[in-house]
Amino acid sequence: MAQVPIVKPSQGRPGLTPPIAPQKHGKIAEQYEVELALYRLAMRRHFTAIAAFNRERCMSLGIRSYVWLAVDVQGTCEVATKHGGKQIAYDSPPLEGHVGEGRCGSPDWCRCVAKAVVPGFT
């Protein structure tokens, strides 16, 4: 039977490698809350960098618009509710900003996705 090679994860790049979630064990509540707030901020930055990269890549490929796929796991984001399912042009973002890059009402981070609209494909 062939062995499956073990691949070690790379060190990653800032903004593109998600941080490790804080552990609650052995910490006082205030310390954990601070770490959790910093983690949420880091995750927002992480997913914002990914969304910006995907937007730029789509635009360089000639894709002009996307459909906003709203993923609101907390049920508190008015932006996801407002734009979910709408087709939006890359060159004219909504007032709140492009999907994943702009304002988000989620208490942690935005999970919405931009589904590229490729001409000639449905």
Q: Judge whether 54 lies within some domain.
A: yes
Q: Judge whether 69 lies within some domain.
A: yes
For CA atoms 7, 9, 11, 13, give the dihedral sign. positive
pLDDT 10s digits, 106-122:
888 888 899 999 988 76
pTM of the prediction? Answer: 0.72
Q: What is the total count of domains within the chain?
A: 1
pLDDT 10s digits, 53-100:
999 999 999 999 999 998 877 777 888 889 989 999 999 989 999 998
Q: Judge whether 17 lies within some domain.
A: no
Q: Judge whether 9 lies within some domain.
A: no
Q: Judge whether 15 lies within some domain.
A: no
Helices (H), strands (E): how many in the chain? 2, 3
Q: Which domain holds residue 46?
A: 29-117
Q: Judge whether 85 lies within some domain.
A: yes
For CA atoms 95, 99, 101, 106, give the dihedral sign. positive
Q: What is the CA radius of gyration of the chain?
A: 18
